Amino acid sequence: MNTHLLHLENVTKTFNQGRPNEYSALRGISLDIPAYQATCIIGPSGSGKTTLLSTIACLARPTAGRIYLREKPISNLPENFLAKIRRSTFGFIFQRFNLISGLTVLENIVLPAYPLGLPQHKLLQRAFALLDQFDLKNRAEHRVEWLSGGEAQRTAICRALINDPAIVIADEPSANLDSALTAELLEIFTQLRAAGKTLLITSHDPIIHEAAAIDMRVEMRDGEVRSIA
Amino acid sequence: MLNPVIIALLIVASLDTLMLLIAAGFALRILRHWDIQSGSELQIRLEQQTYLIATLVGFAFITELLSLLLFVYNADALSSQFVGAMCATGVLNVNPWGWPTLISKIIVFFFAALWLALNFIDRQAEDYPLVRIKYGLLLLIAPLMLSVWSFQLKYFLGLNPAVITSCCGSLFSADARGIAAEVSSLTPRTGMLLFYVGGIAVMISGLWYLRKQRTALIFGMCSIGAFITAIIGIVSFVALYIYAHPHHHCPFCILKSGHDFKGYWLYLPLFSATALAISSSAVAVTQRIPSLRTQAKKTARKFGWLALLLYGIFYLLSSWMVLTSNLTLENLWL
Amino acid sequence: MASLLRRKGKNLSLLLVYTLLVFLLASVLLYTQALRKEATLVLANSPEIIVQRLVAGRHAFIPAQYLKQLGDVRGVTYTQGRLWGYYYDPVVKANYTLMATGNKGLAVHEIAIGAGIARTRQLTVGDYLSLRNARGAPETLRVKEILYPDSELLSADLMLLNPESWRQFFAVPQAVYTDLTLAVRNPAEINKVAEKIVQRLPDTRPILKSEILRSYDAVFSWREGLVSLLLSVALLAFVIFAWDKASGLSAEERREIGILKAIGWETSDVLRMKLWEGAIVSLTAFLSGYLLAYAHIFFTSAALLTPILKGWAVLYPEFHVIPYIDYLQVATLFFFTVVPYAVATLIPIWKAAITDPDEVMR
């Protein structure tokens, strides 16, 4: 049995095809991402690491090449199936968390589970278990604008975990964070990894990619993989 | 003859036609360039357009259903303005475009239902196997809608109050000529036989299909047959009992308040059952496509059972209306 | 759902304009409908042909022997002479229509009065009303009955007397009537009959019911057409406004849709959410607009429209509309407002829904 959770074969992503401003963000990437480990994609901005992440996480389809998730090809699925995979397999932690303002902590957390059409009580049960785990219970009904940085971070993590994903995706999670929060985040990453999640992170912040919690580092430059360590 | 209802109907038909033509335009592009294996930007744009097309068709479906109701209801309401018209029949008879408008509206309704069912099932399979069939069908629906639009326009523009029309009394009478007259010149007995034979045929073929998972096409055909025999049966048999009058054949007067809107109770289940049965049968046929096997089976069964339920309601309700009527016809049981 | 509330400002202005539009359209529709209905009620019982006598172009009493001559015209099934006239009551400064009838079983000096008179003069059954007759002497009449027909318009100012009292009151000789009414067996023959009447009795003028109907209709249609034209311009403006509102997607909204899609929502989920949002706005605006219009027309007697549409109201000085909901009209209004709104927003909504999910990552 292949322990590689994700397998990329010659993946290319080209923007503005056939127009003068055409450019390739990914140029033939082949890569294996093992299960139950934390992988960090490193590289300067413009190196294609965010594009790679969104292509892997089914946010965008590759222009060419194939991606396999547990040996199932997912690179040419239509959007409704990609969305299904996205919500069942991936949990997302974005730069600046991207919580939806105007909604409460609880509402933000249940958003990814909303299209599943679960009964209300099940949904709430799940959400409260997470809130409990991340010490946010007394904040459930608060609007997200009024949260402290740490609380917002934990809300974002709860939202990423609500559908119990196998893979947690974090895009530049430490941007705009002070060192205390970055430490807290790393602590949570370690916990998640211990809980059997696969982590996939992009960062150019040495505090993240040189942390002990990271098992594998993929260095990118100009849309190509430079080195894997 | 431009009253607000007519203007509303014309506006809706124009919008629906426009939307379906837009959808057909997208459909053409999709038919030409569709390649599910490709990750090109063109393909991604085409996929995004499928959402728009589905929304447009769904919208047209709903508004056409509503405008079908409004059309009949309005025809009924207009009957006071035409000499000789007592109900929708007379108003539809005012010029030769009335009936084609009604019939084409019904056909568009069923086609749109079929399309939505196919679209639903197609999106259950990762390779969208029905893309070509679906958008081919759409290319058929768009001109159909165009003809609805033009029939309706000609009909409304040709509504001349000076025309003395003939109503259900003469159209649906044995002495007249034409399809309507032939339908009503059937004895109630023949009407009843047709009505129930159609009903039994569709129920049996439906149950047979649902049990054996075969012969779905026969079920679909029976449902079309049952729709026609049910309409004939309503005209030549059920209506008589609702009106409690042995010579009043009319498919529209039963929609009036004077008859407790009984018509709606009959037509709504009949139309939905037919739409569901046709869709069920079409979806069942797609079981042959490997990527659709389980989903198509499930959906077709669901539609099939729902259709049978609605057929049951329709036939029970109409039988009940017959049995509780004050009218007794002799020779019916001979 | 919550996202709807969050952009309160944006949706509120849309909702207001939308409600206003429905309100205006519904008011005009309800008002003309009510007027038409009143007119049909008035005319429903009116005879097919009324024959008046003209003397030097002025309306004059018609001799009773004309009845016989008209009855002989082929196709006429029924003839009757009518006695009626206006009476100005200085006490309340209003005109009454005094009409003679043989059907109510009224004795001499007994009257049946319309609800309008009863209200203004504060009369109940058994009270007495004193009017000045043709000789200038006061005449005391006993109220035997108050009339409450379907439409007050018909009878608000109506006062029924027995024919004898009527002739005495107005000092009109026995052998004449105010006008004559005819019933015709076959509707297709009405014009023929009218022609024959003019030939036989050249000093008369037949007035056909269809002519009255047509002149009413012409007045209604013309006004309605004008108003509809104005309103369709308003509708067009509204559609453009709705389109603009729906397509003016702020960066904030794009980001939110991007987030939703990234965390697992599909285009159709976003579409559904947005369509729900539109449906809620539509239904709220539609219902509140319609209810406002309903209250406006039936409870305030179209206070806002009357100054603009006075031409109609002059036909009937005492105009009280009867509250009435016509489902066909509600459906029409729905098609006029909700459908164009929906169509105008469909494409912008779709454009918003296909926002790329990787938007958030950029």
Asked if pLDDT for residue B120 goes beyond 90, the answer is: yes
| First-residue to last-residue Cα distance in chain A | 23
- Give phi and psi for A139, each to the nearest 5: -105, 0
B188 lies in the same domain as B151: no
B41 touches chain A (CB under 8 A): yes
Contact criterion met (CB below 8 Å) for A164 and A195:
no
Residue with tokens 């939505």: B116
Contact criterion met (CB below 8 Å) for B156 and B3:
no
Mean pLDDT to the nearest integer, B108-134: 92
What pLDDT shows up at residue C310? Answer: 47
Residues of the domain holding B330: 170-334
Residue A68 vs residue C110, higher pLDDT: A68
CA A151 to chain C, closest CA, distance in angstroms equals 19
**Residue of A16, A17, A79 to mutate, interface with B, max B Cβ within 10 Å:** A79
B180 lies in the same domain as B277: yes
- Give phi and psi for C48, each to the nearest 5: -65, -40
Strand C84-89 and strand C94-100: the pairing is antiparallel
B213 lies in the same domain as B151: no
Query: Can you point out the beta strands (E) in chain B?
Result: none
Q: Which amino acid is at B202?
A: V
Chain C neighbours (≥3 Cβ pairs under 8 A) are A, B
B219 lies in the same domain as B122: no
ipTM: 0.89
Cβ–Cβ gap A17/B38 under 8 Å: no
Q: What angle do CA A33, A37, A43 make, to 5 degrees?
A: 60
Alpha-carbon distance of B321 to B310, in angstroms, equals 16
Alpha-carbon distance of A155 to A130, in angstroms, equals 9
B21 lies in the same domain as B54: yes
Q: Rounded to an integer, what is the distance from CA B256 to the centroid of its chain? A: 20
B30 lies in the same domain as B91: yes
What pLDDT shows up at residue B8? Answer: 85
Measure Cα distances from B230 to A68, B95, B195, B225, B311 in Å.
Answer: 54, 26, 5, 8, 10
Please tell me the pTM assigned to this model: 0.80
Nearest-CB residue to C264 (from A50, A83, A102): A83
Alpha-carbon distance of C235 to B4, in angstroms, equals 14
| Residue B210, H or E segment | helix B188-212
B92 lies in the same domain as B191: no
Enter the DSSP assignment of C106. P
Give me the residues paired with residue C53 across strands: C60, C204
Strand C158-161 and strand C204-208: the pairing is unpaired
Nearest residue of chain B to residue C331 (CA atoms): B70
B103 lies in the same domain as B200: no
Alpha-carbon distance of B280 to B208, in angstroms, equals 13
Nearest residue of chain A to residue B123 (CA atoms): A80
CA C18 to chain A, closest CA, distance in angstroms equals 25
Alpha-carbon distance of C165 to A137, in angstroms, equals 90
**Residue of B51, B69, B261 to mutate, interface with C, max C Cβ within 10 Å:** B51
Asked if pLDDT for residue B326 goes beyond 90, the answer is: no
Asked if pLDDT for residue A42 goes beyond 80, the answer is: yes
> What structural domains and CATH numbers belong to chain C?
2-43+214-361 (no CATH), 49-207 (2.40.40.20)
What pLDDT shows up at residue C317? Answer: 39
CA B45 to chain C, closest CA, distance in angstroms equals 9
B294 touches chain A (CB under 8 A): no
Mean pLDDT to the nearest integer, A66-94: 90
Nearest CA-CA partner of B78 in B157, B173, B5? B5
Cβ–Cβ gap B39/A80 under 8 Å: no
Residue with tokens 């709430």: A124
Asked if pLDDT for residue B315 goes beyond 90, the answer is: yes
Which among B147, B166, B185 is the end of a domain? Answer: B166
Average pLDDT of chain A, as a whole number: 89
Structure confidence by residue, pLDDT tens digits, A156-168:
999 999 999 999 9
Contact criterion met (CB below 8 Å) for B61 and B19:
no
Alpha-carbon distance of A164 to A113, in angstroms, equals 10
Cβ–Cβ gap A80/C255 under 8 Å: no
Q: Tokens for B36, please give them.
A: 């599910």
Contact criterion met (CB below 8 Å) for A53 and A46:
no
Cβ–Cβ gap B8/C29 under 8 Å: no
Low-confidence ranges of chain C (pLDDT < 70): 1-10, 42, 149-156, 188, 214-225, 302, 305-322, 362
B22 lies in the same domain as B161: yes
**What is the edge-to-edge ordering of all strands in the sheet holding A90-93?**
A90-93, A167-171, A198-202, A38-42, A216-221, A224-228
**Residue of B30, B40, B50 to mutate, interface with A, max A Cβ within 10 Å:** B40
Asked if pLDDT for residue B23 goes beyond 90, the answer is: yes
Q: Which amino acid is at B110?
A: F
Measure Cα distances from B34 to A181, B47, B136 in Å.
Answer: 48, 9, 13
Which among B126, B146, B166 is the end of a domain? Answer: B166
Please give the tally of structural domains in chain B. Answer: 2
Give chain B positions within 8 Å (CB) of A51: none
Structure confidence by residue, pLDDT tens digits, B150-178:
999 999 988 877 677 777 766 666 556 66
Q: Which amino acid is at A168?
A: V
Nearest-CB residue to C266 (from A90, A101, A115): A115
Which among B149, B166, B183 is the end of a domain? Answer: B166
Residue B88 vs residue B297, higher pLDDT: B297
- Give phi and psi for C203, each to the nearest 5: -90, 10
Q: Tokens for A14, please give them.
A: 């080209």
Structure confidence by residue, pLDDT tens digits, B223-278:
999 999 999 888 888 888 888 777 777 888 888 777 778 888 899 999 999 999 99
| Residue C128, C-beta contacts closer than 8 angstroms, at least 6 positions apart | C140, C141, C142, C143
DSSP H helical ranges for C201-250: 209-247
What pLDDT shows up at residue B205? Answer: 93
Q: 225-264 in C: which are within 8 Å (CB) of B? A: 228
Give chain A positions within 8 Å (CB) of C10: none
Alpha-carbon distance of C30 to C265, in angstroms, equals 44
B131 lies in the same domain as B103: yes
Q: Tally the C-alpha atoms within 13 A of residue C97's C-alpha that lie toward its C-beta.
A: 17
Contact criterion met (CB below 8 Å) for A201 and A208:
yes
Q: Which amino acid is at B20?
A: L
Residue with tokens 């008589």: B240
Residue C326 vs residue B295, higher pLDDT: B295
B91 lies in the same domain as B160: yes
B160 lies in the same domain as B175: no
Cβ–Cβ gap C264/A100 under 8 Å: no
Alpha-carbon distance of B223 to B229, in angstroms, equals 10
Nearest-CB residue to A59 (from C3, C256, C262): C262
Structure confidence by residue, pLDDT tens digits, A121-152:
888 999 999 999 999 989 889 988 888 888 99
CA C249 to chain A, closest CA, distance in angstroms equals 16
Cβ–Cβ gap C335/B83 under 8 Å: no
B42 touches chain A (CB under 8 A): yes
Asked if pLDDT for residue A189 goes beyond 70, the answer is: yes
Alpha-carbon distance of C220 to A75, in angstroms, equals 65
Nearest CA-CA partner of B219 in B234, B211, B209, B229? B209
Nearest-CB residue to A87 (from C263, C268, C356): C263
Q: How many CB atoms lie within 10 A of CB C306?
A: 14
What pLDDT shows up at residue C312? Answer: 40
Give chain B positions within 8 Å (CB) of A78: 36, 47, 123, 126, 128
Contact criterion met (CB below 8 Å) for C354 and B51:
yes
